Structure 1
């Protein structure tokens, strides 16, 4: 990592409060790299050599069985992945690839394990990261079990609108085939779901979503004030 990059990285929530000496040891061994889109970062079953922290860009976590694959999560800045594997030194349960050009900090796993064990501030930050991951997957599983496919898509659109300050027109953050996989749908079902949402206040043209009636969409998708809030 270049000296000019250190202040930006030091200000990240995971590192901001930790001991400066310990932080400098991490930075001395870390790599900050820019990766092109569609680059696989690691595979399911691989031992974790690094903890990855996404600074800019977007990363897909996915897994598979035989010839079937499914998207598990979309990682957006600033977030680590996959801390549970890096800390326990257990094989990855998911693969990762970049969806866009992405700037990623890579910290050797043995170093981050030692630092977490010895720095209470970093330990708190690590616990927050793990808690975020746990809560994310509880929400995703609840969404999958309690909503029909069209409702899941409607709720996804509401959440994306909320991330953009209530914007009623925006582009989908990922390709439709990835979105379909993330929501547990086939591309064909996703296309039909977009058409069905026209009756609930959503118009889709290409990659652009327009919410014409937020109240109608919310009444249909039934966002939960606890499960669907960030954090």
Structure 2
């Protein structure tokens, strides 16, 4: 990692509270690289050589079997992926590819496992990221089991609107075919879901969604009554 890149990376949540000496160990062995769109970063079943930390860009995590793919998660900055495989030194359960040009920090997996034993702050940050990932998967599974397809789409729009500043407008960051896969539906069903939500408080123009009636959208989509503390 170049010296000019270190202050930015040192301020990332995973490394912010680390001891200076231990952070330097991480940085000495790490690489910050820019990857082009649609590049496969790793494949399901491989053992992790690196912890990936998305600094800028967008990454799709997906699983595949018998010639079929499904989107499991769309990773937005700034966060690591897939930390659980690195910590346990187990094969990846998902594959990863960039959706747009992405800047990614690569930290050797063995180095992460070494330093986490010596640095309490890194251990705590690792536990937080693992816990957040677990809670995210529980919410996604609950969403899939308890909501119809249009309700899942409505919840995604409400969640993205909160993440993007609460202005009532949402910029869809991924192609609609990926959103369909993420939500467990076909592209045709996704189009029908957008049409249905038009009667419940949204307007769509290309990749831009405007919430015109938040009360109606929330009443139809039934957002989670239990929300995580934003801190």
TM range, normalised to the smaller chain?
Answer: over 0.9
Indicate the residue corresponding to 1:10 in structure 2.
10
Structure 1 ranges of 4+ moved more than 4 A: 227-231
SS in 1 for 2:47: coil
SS in 2 for 1:14: coil
TM-superposed CA distance for 1:227, in Å, is: 4.7
Aligned-pair Cα RMSD in Å = 1.3
SS in 2 for 1:154: helix
Counterparts in 2 of 1:85-96, with a 5 A limit?
Answer: 85-96=85-96
C-alpha distance in 1 between matches for 2:189 and 2:105: 37
TM-superposed CA distance for 1:27, in Å, is: 0.5
SS in 1 for 2:225: coil
TM-superposed CA distance for 1:201, in Å, is: 1.0
**What's the TM-score once normalised by structure 1's chain length?**
0.96
My pick for the range that moved more, 116-125 or 159-168, is 159-168
TM-superposed CA distance for 1:225, in Å, is: 3.0
SS in 2 for 1:73: strand
Q: 1:228 to 1:11 in 2, by over 3 A?
A: closer
Q: Is the 8 A contact 1:159 1:228 kept in 2?
A: no
C-alpha distance in 2 between matches for 1:169 and 1:6: 34
Q: 1:8 to 1:228 in 2, by over 3 A?
A: closer
Indicate the residue corresponding to 1:214 in structure 2.
214
Equivalenced residue count is 231
1:59 paired with 2:69, answer no
Structure 2: give runs of 5+ residues left out of the alignment.
none
Q: Is the 8 A contact 1:52 1:81 kept in 2?
A: yes
C-alpha distance in 2 between matches for 1:228 and 1:122: 22
